[in-house]
Amino acid sequence: MWWFLILLTTLWSVPVEALPEDLLLEAPENLVTIVPCVKHLCDKYYKSERAIKGSLGLIYLKPDSSLFQINLLKSFHEDPRHEMGIMPKNSRRLHPDASHVTDRAKNYFLMVREASELASHISMFRRLPTLNPLAQVVILFTSEMTPDVFAVEVRKALQKLFDYWFLNVNVMVQRYNTSVLEVWSWFPYENGRCAEEIIDIRMIDECEYAEVDEEPEQEELFIVIDQVVEYPNETFVNSSESEDNSSLAPKKTVWKFLEQHFCAEYEPKLPKYFNNCPLKVSTPIWEPFVVGNETTVEKGFEVLMIEVITARLKLTPVYKVIETERATARITVDKDTGFYADLIRRQSDIMIGGLYENPVSRKLLSSTIPYYQDDVTWCVPPARLAPKWPNVFIIFNIWIWMLAIGIIFVSAGVIAGLNTFEQGYEENYTWMLVQSLALSLGLSATYWPQRLSIRLFLLVYMFYGMHWDVAHHSFLITVMTRPRFEKQISTAEAAIEKSFKFVGPENSLVFFDKPDSVSKHIASVYQTCKNVDDCLARINSDQTVAVAVSRAHSQNSKSIGEAEMFCFPRTANIQTYPVEMMVKKDFHILAKINDLIRRISESGLLGKWQVESNKIRIDTDSGGGGGGGHGDAQIVLTVAHIEGAFFLVGIGLGISAVAFVGELVYFGLKQKYNWEDTTFSRMIC
């Protein structure tokens, strides 16, 4: 079927009398005779293997359609194969809203008297959502032209369509004073050209639908002398007269297409190679896709893709670096200073730099197939190192500490009770508590009981103390040599609770145009920055800043190392998108570029290039001692690692001093008031 074949006929606004008769001659009778050839050649162009077929034909007719228009309409409508539906339209009325049409036209048919009338037709169908400059276009001149003018009009028609980026255009012209239909076109890349201007036009087809004598079959050429031969008008008997008058026999005629084709003499309009023509590439510097400086593009895996594509198609890449301010600004339809200005004005052919589709690009540009997945995420300062003084205490959790301390007190009570039963040492509970603490830490204690039961208990207690001491020292070394960090901010909600400042490029602000409370809060406090790398550098100095940035770029930024920041996990992304190249609207070699991108992706080269294009990093904290604790670097313990022990000693000394003062006070009061000994006094004094 034919894919949206659009037949457009003109409203002849200029009367024939107003034109020079030797230039444009209206010949309706002769024009009707070329209808079969028009239909025949349209079948050829619209049914070529390179054309996509459709099912709808839109015909714009004026109310008093000519005989030629009627016959042409019938030839399409009455096709026995019914491969196209016809929809007549009145060109004097406004076209109804066609926003419900989602498919694009693949073929156009325009009928005009002269090239100047094309402007109104192009303006008409450019407003339709079916517009497709890559479609096959056939233009038919309804005026018979003299040899002096048809070449000029054909060139004007081709140029007019080329101004609107139509390349696949064929122009039909009736040869002067004949019923022969000629088809003319041009070849954009002929003789080393680069589709910049129309210089040579070529005749590609010639057709005439004429009545010709039917050639008799071979066996009919033999005349049987004795047989009576009957013809429509007379009957001749075997005689010399019949032989003499055999040439007078009526001849049968048939209608045939007399054609000549010249397409084989020329290369395709879109050749395999493009004569090293320039491919204009606009790009911001955006690692790892494009690496370079303000004036020069150096590398990057998208640059490698462009180099492969241009080498395969024999194109020459010409790069233009886009300013950082334009690359991070809000994306608009501005044709002068907007991010897509070069493509909209068709000053560039293609744009790279980790791009993604958005409402503006879908409306004004075309894009390649995706070849990489990236996302916009928040990058924040990494969690700071936790204070080192609790290192001595966080070896075990609080329940183990309570159990260990409880064992010391209980064991001291058991030893005190056994000692009282044995009546060996006249010491109080405090002294026994010190002995129990020494045994639990694997230290020596000056206690020599005589009873076997006490010695067995102390033996078991010593094994417990040895195990506790080994476990304590092992975990203590592990804790001191492994850095601990505070809780890492890893969600937008947590960042809001900590009163973070949210910054990023202006073009990322659209991602927060959502009704949820988190997006509304971020949008209200969002600060824009013109240079994303400068914003990332703030992470080193500001512990409460979150930067919205591409994940791929954050891992390859030249302003900050990957280890110097923390980017949210993919589950907390702001936006995930496929990376594509943007090209100017309906770029005629887009299909070839997509085919090469598909081959590159399937071959695995893309992943290899990503690894090769990543910037080599050297983290300054990975090779030195400073307490980083990364890798196999030697860790030098400092006072900070064991300051908790000093705190504990200080607390112990303080408690001891208070206890000593308390004992002195109690002893003085006891002597003054002659207090008797009690259980409490015997335990502490």
Q: Tokens at residue 617, please?
A: 């990093």
Residue boundaries of the structural domains of the chain: 5-216+251-265, 272-386+484-628, 395-481, 642-684
Please tell me which residue, 16 or 445, carries the higher pLDDT value: 445
Average pLDDT of the segment spanning 117-140: 82
Average pLDDT of the segment spanning 154-169: 91
Percentage above 90 pLDDT, the chain: 35
Can you tell me the distance from the alpha carbon of 26 to that of 19, in angstroms, rounded to the nearest whole number? 10
pLDDT the model gives residue 627: 38
Strand runs (DSSP E) across 83-135, as ranges? 85-90, 107-112
- For the cut 50, the answer to whether the pLDDT of residue 274 exceeds it is yes
Q: Three-state SS for 567? A: strand
When mean pLDDT is compared over 64-73, 119-128, 408-417, 605-614, the highest value belongs to: 408-417
pLDDT the model gives residue 641: 63
Residues whose CB falls within 8 Å of the CB of residue 254, separated by 6 or more in sequence, listed in order: 211, 212, 214
pLDDT the model gives residue 659: 82
Angle among Cα 565, 571, 573 to the nearest 5 degrees reads 60
pLDDT the model gives residue 656: 82
CATH fold of 5-216+251-265 reads Rossmann fold (3.40.50)
Measured in whole angstroms, the distance separating CA 558 from the mean position of its chain's CA atoms is 23
Helix 398-422 with 429-440: angle, nearest 10 deg: 130
pLDDT the model gives residue 181: 92
b (16+ CB within 10 A) / e for 312-325: bbebebebebbebe
Average pLDDT of the segment spanning 21-33: 52
- For the stretch 335-383, pLDDT in tens is 888 999 999 999 999 999 999 999 999 999 999 999 999 999 999 999 9
Q: For residue 104, what is the DSSP state? A: P
pLDDT the model gives residue 421: 74
Please tell me which residue, 557 or 474, carries the higher pLDDT value: 557
- For the stretch 280-302, pLDDT in tens is 999 999 999 999 998 899 989 89
- For the stretch 485-521, pLDDT in tens is 889 999 999 999 999 999 999 999 999 999 999 999 9
Of 13-22, 27-36, 549-558, 648-657, which range is least confident? 13-22
Q: How far is CA 617 from CA 108, 415, 440, 558, 561, in A?
A: 56, 63, 50, 9, 7
Q: Tell me the pLDDT band of 543, cut-offs 50, 70 and 90.
A: very high
**CATH architecture classification, 272-386+484-628:** 3-Layer(aba) Sandwich (3.40)
pLDDT the model gives residue 622: 42
- For the stretch 320-331, pLDDT in tens is 999 999 999 999
Q: Tell me the pLDDT band of 95, cut-offs 50, 70 and 90.
A: low
- For the stretch 193-236, pLDDT in tens is 999 889 889 999 999 988 877 765 544 433 333 333 333 333 33
Of 31-35, 76-80, 413-417, which range is least confident? 76-80
Per residue, the 3-state secondary structure of 441-504, as one string, reads CCCCCCCCCCCHHHHHHHHHHHHHHHHHHHHHHHHHHHHHHCCCECCCCCCHHHHHHCCCEEEE
Cis preceding linkage at 288, omega within 30: yes
Of 225-239, 551-565, 652-666, which range is least confident? 225-239
Average pLDDT of the segment spanning 463-472: 84
Q: Tell me the pLDDT band of 151, cut-offs 50, 70 and 90.
A: confident
Of 360-364, 579-583, 677-681, which range is least confident? 677-681
pLDDT the model gives residue 331: 93
Residue 63: φ, ψ to 5°: -55, -40
When mean pLDDT is compared over 55-64, 113-122, 148-157, the highest value belongs to: 148-157
Q: How many CB atoms lie within 10 A of CB 552?
A: 21
Can you tell me the distance from the alpha carbon of 49 to that of 46, in angstroms, rounded to the nearest whole number? 9
Can you tell me the distance from the alpha carbon of 203 to that of 61, in angstroms, rounded to the nearest whole number? 29
Q: Is the dihedral of CA 659, 663, 664, 669 positive or negative?
A: positive
pLDDT the model gives residue 623: 41
pLDDT the model gives residue 124: 76
Mean pLDDT, the chain, whole residue set? 79
- For the cut 90, the answer to whether the pLDDT of residue 244 exceeds it is no
Percentage above 70 pLDDT, the chain: 77
What's the whole-model pTM score?
0.74
Q: Tell me the pLDDT band of 49, cut-offs 50, 70 and 90.
A: very low
pLDDT the model gives residue 634: 56
8 Å CB contact between 266 and 190 = yes
Q: How far is CA 467 from CA 399, 404, 436, 439, in A?
A: 18, 12, 15, 11
pLDDT the model gives residue 674: 80
Can you tell me the distance from the alpha carbon of 361 to that of 583, in angstroms, rounded to the nearest whole number? 9
- For the cut 90, the answer to whether the pLDDT of residue 630 exceeds it is no
Residues whose CB falls within 8 Å of the CB of residue 642, separated by 6 or more in sequence, listed in order: 391, 392, 480
pLDDT the model gives residue 88: 57
pLDDT the model gives residue 52: 42
